[in-house]
Amino acid sequence: MFCSVCGAEIGEGMETCPRCRMPVAGSRSLPTPLPDERRRTVTAGAISKIVVAALAILAIALGAWWFFVSGADDPTVEPPEGVVSPVDGGAPADESGAGLHPVLVDGLWGYIDSYGRIAIDPQFAGAERFSEGRAVFLDEQTDLFGYIDTRGAVAVEPAYSFAGPFHQGRAAAVLDEGDPAGYIDSTGTWAIEPQYESAGEFSEGLAPAKRDGLWGYIGLDGSWIIPPEFAHAGSFSEGLAQIAHDVDFGYIDASGEIVLKERFNSAGSYVEGLAPVAVGAMIGYMNANGRWVIGERFLGGLEFSEGVAGVRTDKGAGYIDDRGAWVIDPDFDDVRSFHEGIAMVLITDTVGYINMRGEWVWDPGK
C-alpha cells in the first residue's frame, strides 16, 4: 500500500509512514485516500483495490454525517450568519476548482466551498480534490474512476481502475487492473500511451515513472529525461525531488545530479523553502542548503502550505509556522494541509474542516 500523504510505499503492519512519519489510516488517523494528500504515484494493478477499500474505511469512520449550511449560488457573497469565514487565504471557488473541498454526507461525496456551504451536491461514491478544473470521482455502478468539472458534471466518463489528479495538463491513469500506466489529457485522450509500471504526478515538467522495477523521470512527451535508477522517487518541487537508491533519501535537481546526499530516513518535498526530513527518530524542517531551520522534534510532519505545516506530536496533531511556533495547538488526532484557507482534521473519530484560526468551518459537532 501507499502513504496517503507523501506517496511512499508502506509495508504490512506499519503504523506510520517511513518517509513522512504520519500515521497510516486507522482508528486514530485520517482515513485514506484524502483529497490532495493522496499518494503521488500509481502502481498498475494494485491501486483500484486500495482506493476502494480506503473509501470504505472513510465511510465507516464517519458514520452519520452532520447537518450542513446551504449557501446562495453566488460564491462571492458574505457567508450566512453562524458560518465561520476562512481567514488568511480563504477564497471562493473558481474555474480551476480551487476553493472546493470534498465532504461525505450520508454515504455520498460532494463538495463544500471555503465557507462550509454545499457547492456540489453529494452524489458520488468517492471524490478527490480539484486540480486544473477536474476532480476524480468514483462511479458506484461501474466501480471505475472518471472526472467531473467544477459544476459537478461528468467531464471524462468513468473508465479507469485508477485516475490521478491533473498537473500540467496530464493525469496518470490505468484502464484495467494490471494494465500499464499512462497519462491522459482533460478530455480523456491518451497524451502519453500506457507503458509504465507506475507513474507519478507531473511537476516542473517532469514526472516520476517506473520501468523494470526502478524509478526515473519523464518529460511531458513521455520520453525519459532522467533514466530509471532509483528505488524511490518523488515529484519535483522548487527545483528538487526526493529520491533513494536504497533506503536513505536524498535530493536531486532537474538534471539528476545529487544536491543533498542520501542520508535521511524520511524526506518530504520542498514547499515554501522548507522540507520535512528526519535523520534520526524525529522529523524537523530543513532548507534547500541542507541547514536545519526547525529542529527534529516531531513524530510526523507535512509539507508547508499557506504558511503552516501540519505536524504530529505525542500529545496530538496541529500546525506550526516557519519558525516552528504553534499556530494551531495539537488538539487533533490527525491533520492535513491547508488549501484555500481551510484544512481537514480528525478529532474523536470524526472528520471536519477548520480555518486558520482553528475554528470549525465544517463542524462535526453540528
Per-residue pLDDT tens over the stretch 181-230: 999 999 999 999 999 999 999 999 999 999 999 999 999 999 999 999 99
Domain count, the chain: 1
Domain presence at residue 3: no
Which range of residues forms the domain containing residue 196?
Answer: 41-362
pTM equals: 0.79
Domain presence at residue 14: no
Q: pLDDT of 240-281, one tens digit each?
A: 999 999 999 999 999 999 999 999 999 999 999 999 999 999
Domain presence at residue 99: yes
Domain presence at residue 11: no
Contact yes or no for 155/163 (Cβ under 8 A):
no
| CATH assignment of the domain containing 160 | 2.130.10
Domain presence at residue 212: yes
Domain presence at residue 204: yes
Which of the given ranges, 8-17, 35-44, 72-81, 334-343, has the highest pLDDT on average?
A: 334-343
Domain presence at residue 31: no
Domain presence at residue 9: no
